[in-house]
Structure 1
């Protein structure tokens, strides 16, 4: 990611934090609309608490984008945890689509093409690290 992309993601995330409960609800609404089967991965989950976890994880990653080496070990652990929850590699594009759609809805006009591109790049990097970590675990098993 370029420094400008990192700044755009971090600046826009500050706006997301202000609407974090609604943003998380938008994300899960979009996720389950895109692929209703994913609802089964959250069988008895309190979605408000789940949304808070989502926002905390996003915050951790977003704030660490300018020092990726410090967040990558935690991202790999997060990936392994998601495998245990039933996440599959083919879910990552769906999650990315839901995230971008939720951000677009939540941020409105502030979600400019440059901000969208920055978020897509950030999510692509995050997803690739998580997928690689999940594959490593599968090979080790």
Structure 2
């Protein structure tokens, strides 16, 4: 793959069950095992990634017509353990979007369903990767 296609983060242990992820631009994000502090768990980060990817796609398409007056996105699912191990099922991405009641707002509403579908079917790298089941290779060193 080319350098243009490479995406990466680095993660450093801060203490038992608590880590800091850093992106190549210097952004930092606290990650934890969950339930004890404000850090996001890895599963929550997966949900954030799905929501963020879809939201960006839909926002970039609809905002060409009108700025939303409300733009909320939710993702939920069930964490299960079965013969395949721990995993998420029943993932649902929901958009709650409102535009002004004018011509531009109606134009944005008109493209909203198609924008959501395009994000799902081909634009969102995160949900496409999850749905297609891309293998993850684990290494030491």
Common fold by TM > 0.5: no
| Larger relative helix fraction | 1
User: What interval of TM-score do these two structures reach, taking the shorter chain for normalisation?
Assistant: 0.3 to 0.5
Q: Which has the higher contact order (CA 8 A, sep 6+)?
A: 1
TM-score, scaled to structure 2: 0.33
Q: Return the index of the structure with the highest Cα Rg.
A: 2
| Larger relative strand fraction | 2
TM-score, scaled to structure 1: 0.33
